[in-house]
Amino acid sequence: MRKYISVIALSLICGASASADEGMWLPALISERIGDMQAKGFTLTAEDIYSISQASLKDAVVLFGGGCTGELVSPEGLLLTNHHCGYSQIQKHSSVDHDYLRDGFWAMTRAEELPNPGLGVSFLEYMEDVTDKVLKGYEDSMTEEERQALVKKNSQKLIDEAVSGGKGLEASVEPLFYGNKYYMFVYRTYTDVRLVGAPPSSIGKFGGDTDNWMWPRHTGDFSIFRIYADKDNNPAPYSEDNVPYRPKKYFHIAAGGVGEGEFTFVYGFPGSTREYIMSEGVRYISDISNPFKIALRTMRLDIQKKYMDEDQAVRIQYSSKNAGVANAWKKWQGEMKGIVRLGTVAKKQEFESRFMDWADGTEYEGIVPALDSLYKELEPYMYALDYYNESARTIELVQFAQRASALASAGKDSALGAVTDAFFKDYYLPIDKEIFVAVMNSYRENVPADFRPPYFDSTLAVYGGSVGKWADALFSTSVFCDRKAVEALGADDTLALENDPAVEFGREFSSWIGENIRPAVNRLNMEINLLNRDYMRGQMEFQPDKVFYPDANLTLRVAYGHIKGYSPSDGVYYMPFSTIEGIMEKDNPEIFDYNIPQKFRDVVATGDYGRWGEDGSVPVCFIATNHTSGGNSGSPVIDSRGRLIGINFDRVWEGTMSDIEFDPDFCRNISLDIRYVLFIIDKIGNADHLIEEMTIEQE
């Protein structure tokens, strides 16, 4: 084991030849990259980025709500993230009477800031290489199960020690490079986080799903929160007595403008990438799973849209759900195209054949063919599981029935009440029923009989083979369609609930999949992971001059690059900046996604942009070459002097395959220019009190 670890340590340090701007680097090891960053224009030090002995930029960055990033911008705990990251909070505070999604929300006093139960933000206290500690007691003779049990036990001990000493501490131990390395991440989590401001969706989601994942972009995708702490600045549950959190560090804002070619650095929490998997793994994604997942989601989106267009109340109910479905749907399309254009599968095959030649006679011999056959064995099971997840598992009534029946049987009345309220607030049965018919028909057509539960076929037979008739019955007889009936449920109804058609549907599917599909998927994935550990190490030995970065896993990373346009296709060049002129060009009251608020039009008509203007306009978004992924939403985009110039919120469509292969010619992250954020807070929100809290540098 030792031998391999030192090989990896070496390859992390030497060799500066990672291809241009690719990479998501661990902050604790940033001293290995700082020379390159400085050569590209950065003027601060590694300690300024990450330090455990002094305040550093990492102390101004948070994991927001377990899937996004946010940054501190005032000494009083003010935090910026994306509108789409705060979306479900904004949505939960909205109703037809006060529709903050539609109209925006601006707390004019601290008392008006809105608490969000369930929302937390986490600061990284420190990260540490714990490989030796986690593998303490490991012997080569151990099976993978034994190794996993050991890793789990040792990790738990480290975690327990790490969190014993303070309020709000949380820790996790994560494998990097497929378990060739382990790092512990220790966080401090604050749970009193209040909504302070959000532009109307017509600004915050301007362009909607039409422009999502695309450039040129004009989305004002930001929202504002504030972290509250107890009197000692420690994490505390929501209380009126809490006070604004005082950060160790907050970003100063550079409002003097940014130019093409300038250095940028994105500091945030990318969720998941798979840069080192073999060709078969990529082929499954681009040729099989992305296409059918896209097709299923197209149906769901069309159905949702039809009803949302008919009724404002339904639009509010389904806005957040719809955006969630649409987002991955569009990303997968770009990703597929990118993989095909780059020829990733063929390139990987070619790499694998060179690797195999090199591996001949070494301990890495045979890994590639073994992986290949495992992937082939996995494919039908993975397909069945993925198909189930994107069809049967998406039925809202079924999900609700399963949760609610469990709570009712356990006699948990108050939890049942809360779940029931939340469900019916945003439920519209005709959408769910129509989706049931569409996706279950596809399920029947596309999933081979051996890979679907016999329950499915036998129930279908009861309805003469008609999914529609099945839906008619299920959506009229299930008790879970009826709010009053659900509220009246108690522990004595357990028996009746077991026979409820929605409960039965959920139970039969999940237990059959659990018994017949999941075990194979888990076993094969475990074997693949195990081989990937060797394959990863082999790749590192095979390419000693290449600099490797660990795949994203929702831990804090540094990505750096520069502001740059790109050419999406022959004869077309995209400039790296957009301005409010582009908003006015797209503006159209007839098109939901492009209907900018009247107030915005009025401000633009005055031409008074205050300090935020540049050359008679206001900059809105820019693109750069930083390697980012899902989870980097809301990340601070930082200039050469460590100041905030923007908020990351997206990638360009032609570059979304960067989770699998990064192409410097096409991969661009999309950021909101911080001047547009300030312009909206100032001129649309009239919330100057927020701007006064910030430190704004005009030069």
And the tokens for 538? Answer: 């082999």
Determine, following the binding rule CB under 6 A, whether residue 269 of this chain makes contact with ligand GLU.
no
Using CB under 6 A, pick the residue from 651, 668, 675, 683 that binds ligand GLU. 651
- Rounded to 5 degrees, what are φ and ψ at 612? -95, -5
The entry of ligand ARG, ligand GLU, none near residue 208 (CB within 5 to 8 angstroms by kind) is: ligand ARG
Q: Please confirm, yes or no, whether 252 is among the known catalytic residues.
A: no
**Least Cβ distance, residue 665 to ligand GLU (angstroms):** 17
Selected catalytic residue, list 48, 74, 84, 218: 84
In the complex with ligand ARG, which residue's Cβ is closer, 175 or 630? 630
Determine contact, residues 120/191, Cβ cutoff 8 Å: yes
The entry of ligand GLU, ligand ARG, none near residue 359 (CB within 5 to 8 angstroms by kind) is: none
Determine contact, residues 392/444, Cβ cutoff 8 Å: no
Q: Could you say which residues in the range 45-84 bind ligand ARG, by CB under 6 A?
A: 84
Dist CA 603 CA 424 (whole Å): 39
Q: What is the DSSP secondary-structure string of 505-566? A: HHHHHHHHHHHHTHHHHHHHHHHHHHHHHHHHHHHHHH-TTSPP-PPP-SS-EEEEEEB--B
Determine contact, residues 192/242, Cβ cutoff 8 Å: yes
**Least Cβ distance, residue 567 to ligand GLU (angstroms):** 20
In the complex with ligand ARG, which residue's Cβ is closer, 329 or 475? 329
Residue for token digits 């601070």?
A: 636
Tell me how many degrees the CA angle 665-669-675 measures, rounded to the nearest 5.
Answer: 130
- Return the range that interacts with ligand ARG (CB under 6 A); candidates 48-56, 252-260, 319-327, 418-426: 319-327
| Measured torsion, CA atoms of residues 572, 578, 579, 582, in degrees rounded to the nearest 10 | 50
Which residues on neighbouring strands pair with residue 243, listed in sequence order?
229
Nearest to 93 by CA among 69, 66, 115: 115
Selected catalytic residue, list 48, 99, 221, 432: 221
- Return the range that interacts with ligand GLU (CB under 6 A); candidates 122-130, 254-262, 339-347, 626-634: 626-634
Which residues on neighbouring strands pair with residue 669, listed in sequence order?
624, 651
Determine, following the binding rule CB under 6 A, whether residue 630 of this chain makes contact with ligand GLU.
yes
Determine, following the binding rule CB under 6 A, whether residue 104 of this chain makes contact with ligand ARG.
no
- Return the range that interacts with ligand ARG (CB under 6 A); candidates 202-210, 375-383, 420-428, 462-470: 202-210
Determine, following the binding rule CB under 6 A, whether residue 630 of this chain makes contact with ligand ARG.
yes
The entry of ligand ARG, ligand GLU, none near residue 459 (CB within 5 to 8 angstroms by kind) is: none
Q: What is the DSSP secondary-structure string of 246-308? A: --S----EE-S---TT-EEEEEE------TT--HHHHHIIIIIIHHHHHHHHHHHHHHHHHHH
Dist CA 131 CA 533 (whole Å): 14
**Least Cβ distance, residue 628 to ligand GLU (angstroms):** 5
The entry of ligand ARG, ligand GLU, none near residue 212 (CB within 5 to 8 angstroms by kind) is: ligand ARG
Per DSSP, the chain holds a count of helices (H) and strands (E) of 27, 20
Residue for token digits 């100032």?
A: 682
In the complex with ligand ARG, which residue's Cβ is closer, 209 or 534? 209
- Return the range that interacts with ligand GLU (CB under 6 A); candidates 140-148, 316-324, 474-482, 624-632: 624-632
Determine, following the binding rule CB under 6 A, whether residue 649 of this chain makes contact with ligand GLU.
yes
Using CB under 6 A, pick the residue from 30, 314, 323, 528 that binds ligand ARG. 323
**Least Cβ distance, residue 665 to ligand ARG (angstroms):** 21
Dist CA 602 CA 417 (whole Å): 46
Using CB under 6 A, pick the residue from 629, 643, 675, 684 that binds ligand GLU. 629
Dist CA 268 CA 629 (whole Å): 10
Distance from the Cα of residue 232 to its chain's centroid: 32
Q: Please confirm, yes or no, whether 221 is among the known catalytic residues.
A: yes
And the tokens for 635? Answer: 């990340």
Q: What is the DSSP secondary-structure string of 310-339? A: H-HHHHHHHHHHHHHHHHHHHHHHHHHHHH
Dist CA 395 CA 431 (whole Å): 10
Q: Could you say which residues in the range 632-671 bind ligand ARG, by CB under 6 A?
A: 633, 650
- Return the range that interacts with ligand ARG (CB under 6 A); candidates 182-190, 208-216, 460-468, 544-552: 208-216
For residue 19, the 8-state DSSP code is: -
Task: Determine the size of the site formed for ligand ARG (CB under 6 A).
Answer: 12
Residue for token digits 């709570």?
A: 407
Dist CA 36 CA 562 (whole Å): 13
Q: How many angstroms separate the first and last alpha carbons of the chain?
A: 52
Determine contact, residues 192/231, Cβ cutoff 8 Å: no
Q: Could you say which residues in the range 39-98 bind ligand GLU, by CB under 6 A?
A: 68
**Least Cβ distance, residue 68 to ligand GLU (angstroms):** 6
In the complex with ligand GLU, which residue's Cβ is closer, 625 or 633? 633
Determine contact, residues 62/71, Cβ cutoff 8 Å: yes
Nearest to 184 by CA among 126, 269, 97, 262: 126
**Least Cβ distance, residue 648 to ligand ARG (angstroms):** 10
Using CB under 6 A, pick the residue from 122, 632, 640, 671 that binds ligand GLU. 632
In the complex with ligand GLU, which residue's Cβ is closer, 536 or 647? 647
The entry of ligand GLU, ligand ARG, none near residue 632 (CB within 5 to 8 angstroms by kind) is: ligand GLU
Determine, following the binding rule CB under 6 A, whether residue 631 of this chain makes contact with ligand GLU.
yes
**Least Cβ distance, residue 195 to ligand GLU (angstroms):** 18
**Least Cβ distance, residue 223 to ligand GLU (angstroms):** 13
Which three-class secondary structure state does DSSP give residue 456? Answer: helix
Q: For the chain, what is the largest distance between any 2 Cα atoms, rounded to a whole number of angstroms? A: 76
The entry of ligand GLU, ligand ARG, none near residue 326 (CB within 5 to 8 angstroms by kind) is: ligand ARG
Dist CA 554 CA 691 (whole Å): 30
Task: Determine the size of the site formed for ligand GLU (CB under 6 A).
Answer: 10
Question: Crossing angle, helix 454-462 and helix 429-446, to 10 degrees?
Answer: 120
**Least Cβ distance, residue 633 to ligand GLU (angstroms):** 3
In the complex with ligand ARG, which residue's Cβ is closer, 100 or 375? 100
Residue 680 CA neighbour count, 13 Å, CB half: 30
**Least Cβ distance, residue 110 to ligand ARG (angstroms):** 29
Determine, following the binding rule CB under 6 A, whether residue 212 of this chain makes contact with ligand ARG.
yes
Determine contact, residues 677/73, Cβ cutoff 8 Å: no
In the complex with ligand ARG, which residue's Cβ is closer, 326 or 419? 326
Using CB under 6 A, pick the residue from 320, 626, 633, 671 that binds ligand GLU. 633
- Return the range that interacts with ligand GLU (CB under 6 A); candidates 37-45, 501-509, 593-601, 622-630: 622-630
**Catalytic annotation, residues:** 84, 221, 633
Chain contacts with ligand ARG (rule: CB under 6 A): 84, 205, 208-209, 212-213, 323, 326-327, 630, 633, 650
Chain contacts with ligand GLU (rule: CB under 6 A): 68, 628-633, 649-651
